[in-house]
Structure 1
């Protein structure tokens, strides 16, 4: 039987040896305790594109405010997460070259440069964010 399910048995008879009618009620009782790895999995799921906190909360039968509290705990470092990069911000370095391009490309106004280890990725402003995430993941896995 699951650790978060308790069974209650009530007897409606004072006579010893005969229970009469027995009522068994099962289900979650009171506060549930979620293991840290389950909380972390739920929090990571809320950071996926197109997924809302309310959807994840409904799927796991958790209140949305509770899930927001776990997200805050993860950002503050109080909830151990398996992948710290999922919650952190990307460090940005603004160069002082006034936006001039070294390679002379004219059509890339608004482009950004991302460095992952020793790999330089030049991203035009019209690039698909989902595809960029896959590119960065592939570069990380390869390095």
Structure 2
């Protein structure tokens, strides 16, 4: 009886690899590391997406974020780790009258008045229907920058 491993010592070497180095281990300068961590806190994309774009593993970026939070807490500066919730106020529109039930149609109805009102640090911004998304984003970013 022969086994598949019987010829292990008699056949020649077909492939031989030499690993020189520790793989993908890199030394990141502090300013590059800080910019990547700041980008991960921007909220524009996920932490994993930021890590992928910089050829990092997500766990490495999460570790950097945790180290930054720890350093900031030691200095007495709390770092906001999650989303910030603001109070939402919903007010009924004064000039919109309800349609009688007998006259309703099957078409979806849009009210004539619709807006989103943001108030950040005493600054109120009202965004009406049809506003350009680029302009909305620019206004919100400008409000965030003034904080």
Greater relative CO, 1 or 2 (CA 8 Å, sep 6+): 1
- TM value normalised by structure 2: 0.45
Which of the pair is proportionally richer in strand? 1
The structure having more radius of gyration, on CA atoms, is 2
